[in-house]
């Protein structure tokens, strides 16, 4: 056991040596850093196992209600550091390794990120698991064990190149294969009706199937001995055909099933806020949902005999519509396998499922062609038809004669299955992820549903885990905070408010900014190593790190940098505070405009960074392969947090909260959770600009925005736009950025030009504010001090109390 109070350094060293010998037939001094990482990970896992077993015994014994967090994505990042932190042995292990001449940071760097997610939605799921375990709530995460996670990004000649992420290459020390819980998942074929004791039974025949095998990863709670489980499913081939037979059909089917098993879990679809509509994606969805729901029902039945009370012990949280087929799959199991009547089954299902909406972006709305859906899932489709038939009757009863309502609300319409409508009909709760977002859902996107069933709608503003994004990511600030106010903040982030008494204390201000400076030095070193660029840690670190998407407006940011550069060239003596503009972003592999924006950022970076005439007053850095592990370095080092989405488009944002926690000032629009951040920190302590959500939605409704009006009236905008097409940043191909130019001038869907002046003016305010060192320090400290609300612990408490009605386990 390597608990804080009992940590035995010599014992740990022995274990480590023994692990290296057992795993690699080597002594510690011969082992590679990767091998040492593995050995350390196994020691830590050894420390987890007993608690893991005890936790699950307690759940069973206390018969507590369990939440299954169903998600196509879990963006976990690295496990080792996080596990040591939550086991309270981080410092002890670090010191012990030091005694052996080993550097903990280098060992942690050996672990590949578990990048089973795209961005916010997947990382939110990971933060929620951390909070659930820390709060002691019974929970499973259910997902897919992708062989390849989010691609690794290489930048070649300024362009993004996607490289497969073979994260399991050296094995995953923390996972445990649970072969004993494997289940079969069936695809395709047809439905036959058979009579069983005078009752119709629907039987799927002529199908292909795969064996779903779960792998469990431990989710360690902070200092409470609780270990929950992330269960991710792998597909294996079922080989039940007769090898002796020369039946051609049997043989072909076996080969097809091998292929199906191999392809299902192969790769994560790298789209954030976009639906690609690929058949394989629907297979992935049904695969992990069928497996998870089958297991949840089987587990319930081990200790309960009345399936009609399933919802009293189980709740399924659907992370967006991706897992929504769970509604129909649970119905299938209850009706076809458990023999419930439809109405009974529907009541159980509707009391079990709850749905979280994460976006209003139209292109992200999941709609599957009926042709595809019914071919792949014939029995599940029949059930969706029946759900739809009854739902339409409900609508008719509520709004007699109103055809328009049916058109707008039906689950099946226009040859498609509308997954959000299925999720809403089949759930007891529908929630948005920030106050503004939920209001937009109620007033606009889901207005008809809200009108018909207002009791289902609620808000749960997102949060982040301070254990990873402060305690692990920013150890200097974490221990400073603990020195000031004690360490309660680690499990109760509201305590950060006690820092407020120090914001006017000059010594504290200096300490705070000194820590920020050291973190900037750490990031500068990373940038030097990875980009070969020298950046000045005394410059303002102005950061925008998030997926690349037009609505997030990285383009507006780089256009502003181009403008600043023009100003500097025109007025060489211009007095500005040196700025380092830091970007990090992956673009979906097929998203042309996003990829071109990455190229533009890199082209601008090359030109500006190499122009000695501006004396290094501005630098531009594009951080390759932005991911959870390097994000921790960036948040800790940031002065300015760019949260500049077109108002109404960013459902919440969570990076905004990570920056705030680490003392960065927000430069943002009144969008998503920025609204609540400003509310917490005070509007004088943030740099807010741009159109409001209301204004944006008015323009969209009236279609009365013409970007050419801005172009014609704004000299600065005209100049930077012209530089997109005159070769200023691409002499070898002046037309290179034409597509960006055209998109801005023809439509400017995301109001980049309309917000440009206001954005520019907000940047001026930043420049002015940074000159007053004391005031800046005070404001930075206030960010951390005001970040208490944005803990995922708070979010999870709200889910647990207001929706799931969970009780905590006692160990
Ligand atoms: C995603 O990361 C988000 C929404 C999606 O809608 C899909 C993905 Cl992959 C289908 C993000 C939102 O864009 C972001 O505003 C929010 O903070 C995050 O989910 C978590 O709720």
Q: Tell me what pLDDT residue 248 has.
A: 74
pLDDT band at 461 (very low <50, low <70, confident <90, very high): very high
Residue 725 pLDDT greater than 80, yes or no = yes
Least confident among 89-93, 239-243, 303-307: 239-243
pLDDT band at 2 (very low <50, low <70, confident <90, very high): very low
Q: Which atom of ligand 1 is nearest to the CA of 320?
A: 10
Q: Please name the residue whose Cα sits nearest to atom 20 of ligand 1.
A: 121
Residue 452 pLDDT greater than 90, yes or no = yes
Which of 85, 77, 168, 171 has its CA nearest to residue 133? 85
Q: Tell me what pLDDT residue 244 has.
A: 63
Enzyme catalytic residues: 358, 546-547, 552, 654, 658
**DSSP calls for 465-493:** -HIIIIIIT-HHHHHHHHHHH-SGGGT-G
Burial letters 655-693, b for 16+ CB under 10 A, else e: bbbbbbbbbbbbbbbbbbbbbbbbebbeeebbbbbbbbb
Alpha carbon of 123 to ligand 1 centroid (Å): 9
Q: Is the CB of 652 under 6 A from ligand 1?
A: yes
Residue 645 DSSP one-character state: P
Share of the chain above pLDDT 90, in %: 97
Task: List, for residues 791-801, the tens digit of each pLDDT value.
Answer: 999 999 999 99
Q: State how far the Cα of 418 lies from the Cα of 416, in Å rounded to an integer.
A: 6
| Paired residues of 75 in beta bridges | 115
Alpha carbon of 566 to ligand 1 centroid (Å): 35
Least confident among 1-10, 437-446, 458-467, 718-727: 1-10
Q: Which atom of ligand 1 is nearest to the CA of 272?
A: 9
Q: Please name the residue whose Cα sits nearest to atom 14 of ligand 1.
A: 653
Alpha carbon of 122 to ligand 1 centroid (Å): 8
Quick one: how many helices (H) and strands (E) in the chain?
Answer: 32, 25
Q: Is the CB of 650 under 6 A from ligand 1?
A: yes
User: Which residue in the block uniquely carries the two structure tokens 């390794």?
Assistant: 97
Q: Is the CB of 320 under 6 A from ligand 1?
A: yes
Residue 452 — φ and ψ, nearest 5°?
Answer: -80, -35
Contact 444, 693 (CB under 8 A): no
Q: Please name the residue whose Cα sits nearest to atom 4 of ligand 1.
A: 358
Task: List, for residues 493-535, the tens digit of each pLDDT value.
Answer: 999 999 999 999 999 999 999 999 999 999 999 999 999 999 9
Alpha carbon of 272 to ligand 1 centroid (Å): 7
pLDDT band at 3 (very low <50, low <70, confident <90, very high): very low
Residue 133 pLDDT greater than 50, yes or no = yes
Q: Tell me what pLDDT residue 609 has.
A: 98
Alpha carbon of 589 to ligand 1 centroid (Å): 18
- Domains of the chain, CATH where assigned: 63-78+113-343+356-371 (3.40.50.2000), 466-790 (3.40.50.2000)
Contact 784, 482 (CB under 8 A): no
Q: Tell me what pLDDT residue 247 has.
A: 74
Residue 688 — φ and ψ, nearest 5°?
Answer: -100, 140
pLDDT band at 239 (very low <50, low <70, confident <90, very high): confident
Which ipTM score applies to this complex? 0.99
Q: Is the CB of 651 under 6 A from ligand 1?
A: yes
**DSSP calls for 521-545:** HHHHHHHHHHH-----TTSEEEEEE
Alpha carbon of 177 to ligand 1 centroid (Å): 30
In whole angstroms, how large is the CA radius of gyration of the chain? 27
Beta-strand pair 176-177/208-220: antiparallel
Which of 656, 646, 551, 652 has its CA nearest to residue 594? 551
Q: Give a three-class secondary structure readout of 210-259.
A: EEEEEEEEEEECCCCCCEEEEEEEEEEECCCCCCCCCCHHHHHHHHHHHH
Q: For a substitution probing ligand 1, which of 355, 358, 430 has the most ligand atoms within 8 Å of its CB?
A: 358
Q: For a substitution probing ligand 1, which of 122, 651, 672 has the most ligand atoms within 8 Å of its CB?
A: 651
Q: Tell me what pLDDT residue 245 has.
A: 61
Share of the chain above pLDDT 70, in %: 99
């Amino acid at each position: 056991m390597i608990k804080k109070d009992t940590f035995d350094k010599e014992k740990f060293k022995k274990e480590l040596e023994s692990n290296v010998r057992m795993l690699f037939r080597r002594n510690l001094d011969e082992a590679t850093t990767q091998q040492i990482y593995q050995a350390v990970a196994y020691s830590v896992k050894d420390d987890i196992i007993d608690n893991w077993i005890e936790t699950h015994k307690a759940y069973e014994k206390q018969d507590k209600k369990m939440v299954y967090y169903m998600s196509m994505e879990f963006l976990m990042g690295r496990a080792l550091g996080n596990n040591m932190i939550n086991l309270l042995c981080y410092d002890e292990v670090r010191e012990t390794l030091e005694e052996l001449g080993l550097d903990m940071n280098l060992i942690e760097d050996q672990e590949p990120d578990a990048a089973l997610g795209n961005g916010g939605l997947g990382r939110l799921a990971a933060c929620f698991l951390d909070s659930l375990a820390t709060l002691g709530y019974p929970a499973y995460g259910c997902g897919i064990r992708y062989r390849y996670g989010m691609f690794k990004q290489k930048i070649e000649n300024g362009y993004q190149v996607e490289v497969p992420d073979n994260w399991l290459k050296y094995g995953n020390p923390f996972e445990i294969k649970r072969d004993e819980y494997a289940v079969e998942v069936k695809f395709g074929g047809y439905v036959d009706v058979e009579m069983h004791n005078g009752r119709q039974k629907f039987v799927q025949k002529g199908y292909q199937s795969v064996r779903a095998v779960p792998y469990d990863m431990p989710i360690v709670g902070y200092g409470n001995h609780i270990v929950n489980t992330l269960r991710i499913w792998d597909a294996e081939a079922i080989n039940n055909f007769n090898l002796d037979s020369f039946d051609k059909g049997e043989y072909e089917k076996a080969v097809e099933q091998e292929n199906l098993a191999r392809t299902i879990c192969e790769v994560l679809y790298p789209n954030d806020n976009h639906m690609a509509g690929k058949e394989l994606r629907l297979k992935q969805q049904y695969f992990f949902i069928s497996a998870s729901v089958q297991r949840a029902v089987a587990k319930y039945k081990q200790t309960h005999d009345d399936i009609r009370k399933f919802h009293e012990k189980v709740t399924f949280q659907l992370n967006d519509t991706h897992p929504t087929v769970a509604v129909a799959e649970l119905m299938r199991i209850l009706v076809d396998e458990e023999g419930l009547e439809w109405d009974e089954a529907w009541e159980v299902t509707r009391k079990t499922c709850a749905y979280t909406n994460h976006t209003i972006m139209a292109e992200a709305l999941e709609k599957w062609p009926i042709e595809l859906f019914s071919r792949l899932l014939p029995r599940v489709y029949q059930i969706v038809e029946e759900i739809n038939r009854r739902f339409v009757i409900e609508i008719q009863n509520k709004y007699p004669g109103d055809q328009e309502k049916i058109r707008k609300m039906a689950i099946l319409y226009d040859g498609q299955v509308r997954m959000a409508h299925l999720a809403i009909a089949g759930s007891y709760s529908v929630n948005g992820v920030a106050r503004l977002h939920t209001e937009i859902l109620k007033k606009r996107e889901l207005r008809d549903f809200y009108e018909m069933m207002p009791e289902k709608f609620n808000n749960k503003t997102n949060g982040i885990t301070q254990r990873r994004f402060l305690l692990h990511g920013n150890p200097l600030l974490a221990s400073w905070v603990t020195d000031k106010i004690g360490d309660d903040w680690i499990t109760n982030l509201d305590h950060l408010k006690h820092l407020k008494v120090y914001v006017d204390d000059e010594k504290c201000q200096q300490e705070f900014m000194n820590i920020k400076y050291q973190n900037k030095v750490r990031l500068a070193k990373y940038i030097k190593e990875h980009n070969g660029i020298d950046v000045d840690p005394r410059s303002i670190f102005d950061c925008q790190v998030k997926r690349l998407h037009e609505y997030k407006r990285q383009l507006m940011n780089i256009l502003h940098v181009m403008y600043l550069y023009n100003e500097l060239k025109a007025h060489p003596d211009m007095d500005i505070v040196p700025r380092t503009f830091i970007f990090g972003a992956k673009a979906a592999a097929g998203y042309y405009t996003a990829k071109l924006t990455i190229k533009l950022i890199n082209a601008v970076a090359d030109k500006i960074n190499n122009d000695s005439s501006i004396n290094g007053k501005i630098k531009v850095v594009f951080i390759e392969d932005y991911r959870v592990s390097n994000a921790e370095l960036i948040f800790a080092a940031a002065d300015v947090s760019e949260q500049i989405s077109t108002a109404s488009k960013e459902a919440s944002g969570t990076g905004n909260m990570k920056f705030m926690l680490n003392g960065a000032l927000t430069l943002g629009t009144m969008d998503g959770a920025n609204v609540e951040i400003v509310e917490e920190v005070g509007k004088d302590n943030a740099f807010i600009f741009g159109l409001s959500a209301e204004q944006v939605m008015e323009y969209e409704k009236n279609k009365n925005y013409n970007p050419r009006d801005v172009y014609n009236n704004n000299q600065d905008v005209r100049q930077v736009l012209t530089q997109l097409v005159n070769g200023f940043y691409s002499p070898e191909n002046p037309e290179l950025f034409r597509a960006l130019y055209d998109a801005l001038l023809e439509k400017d869907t995301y109001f980049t030009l309309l917000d440009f002046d206001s954005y520019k003016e907000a940047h001026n305010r930043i420049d002015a504010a940074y000159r007053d060192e004391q005031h800046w320090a005070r404001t930075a400290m206030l960010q951390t001090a005001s970040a208490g609300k944005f803990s995922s612990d708070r979010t999870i408490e709200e889910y647990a109390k207001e929706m799931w009605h969970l009780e905590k386990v006692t160990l």
